[in-house]
Amino acid sequence: MQTPGNDRRFGEDIATLYQRLLVPMIFAPYAVDLAGRLASLPVASVLELAAGTGVVTRELALRLAPEVQLVATDLNETMLAVARKQGTSRPVAWRQADAMTLPFGDAAFDAVVCQFGAMFFPDRAHAFAEARRVLRPGGTLLFNVWDRIETNDFAWVIQEAVAGVFPDDPPRFLQRLPHGYFSASAIARDLAEAGFAGTPAIETLTAQSLGETPTIVALAYCQGTPLRNEIVARDAKRLEEATDAATAAMTARFGTGPVTGRIQALVVRIAR
């Protein structure tokens, strides 16, 4: 979602599985939440950062008034291609863009929104400063980040299972990045460094993740996220073995399916 590299590289194979499996499993509930929060604000223009395959974009297109300008961006063109293919209920301006150097003028938007993207920014304070720059005075930055991995059942079980396949060099992508930016004090510090005044409103939001079967959940995480890149980097021939280990761990913990687990995130809001 930001800067190239194994941790942030979403190839076509990952992007397709991400949209088909992970979006309904863990991202959709939080997309509905963010869109609802933003729909309650008086906005005429909205910029979305790290839009991925467009789960929030589609909710915003439904919830915001037709006259509200909606621009959805992501660094990864492959993810945007999947988003465009999914379509939206009304026109959206899709644009490849880096959150670190936004190609928009100062004070161009009433709100900037980002779902589960801030964790991937290589310099979060700088990215927040860019968001602040393109916000109009009084505008809103609204984003969410995953809470610590131990509070997210599927991710925790799968990470530990895959680590068991590579005990000498366990892949830790899930803990390091998606679940690595959960400190409220760190978030507040980065926002202050970016130039935002005041204290951000930070809310912990718990939901339920539903998977059809343990196999589908394991496939989603092991092959539909950059965890796949970490596994392949260690031994490409063991991708299926790692996925099978994750399936077995999911079955042992949650049963044969459908499977339900806790997901937990922080929702952050601050005014410019």
- Whether residue 159 lies inside any domain: the answer is no
Q: What is the CATH number of the domain that holds 22?
A: 3.40.50.150
Identify the three-state secondary structure at position 43.
coil
> What is the number of domains present in the chain?
1
- Whether residue 15 lies inside any domain: the answer is yes
- Whether residue 253 lies inside any domain: the answer is no
Digitized pLDDT (tens) for each residue of the chain, 272 residues in all = 333 344 444 556 678 888 999 999 999 999 999 999 999 999 999 999 999 999 999 999 999 999 999 999 999 999 999 999 999 999 999 999 999 999 999 999 999 999 999 999 999 999 999 999 999 999 999 999 999 999 999 999 999 999 999 999 999 999 999 999 999 999 999 999 999 999 999 999 999 999 999 999 999 999 999 999 999 999 999 999 999 999 999 999 999 989 999 999 999 999 99
- Whether residue 185 lies inside any domain: the answer is yes
- Whether residue 138 lies inside any domain: the answer is yes
- What is the model's pLDDT at position 128? 98
Global pTM value: 0.93
Single out the residue of 112, 162, 159, 158 nearest to residue 250, CA to CA. Answer: 158
- Whether residue 1 lies inside any domain: the answer is no
- Whether residue 241 lies inside any domain: the answer is no
- What is the model's pLDDT at position 9? 47
- Whether residue 88 lies inside any domain: the answer is yes
- What is the model's pLDDT at position 2? 33
CA angle 254, 260, 264 (to 5 degrees): 115
Report the largest interatomic distance among the alpha carbons of the chain, rounded to a whole angstrom: 55
- What is the model's pLDDT at position 257? 83
Query: Domain limits at 34?
Result: 6-148+175-208+263-271
What is the spatial distance between Cα 237 and Cα 251, in angstroms, rounded to a whole number? 23
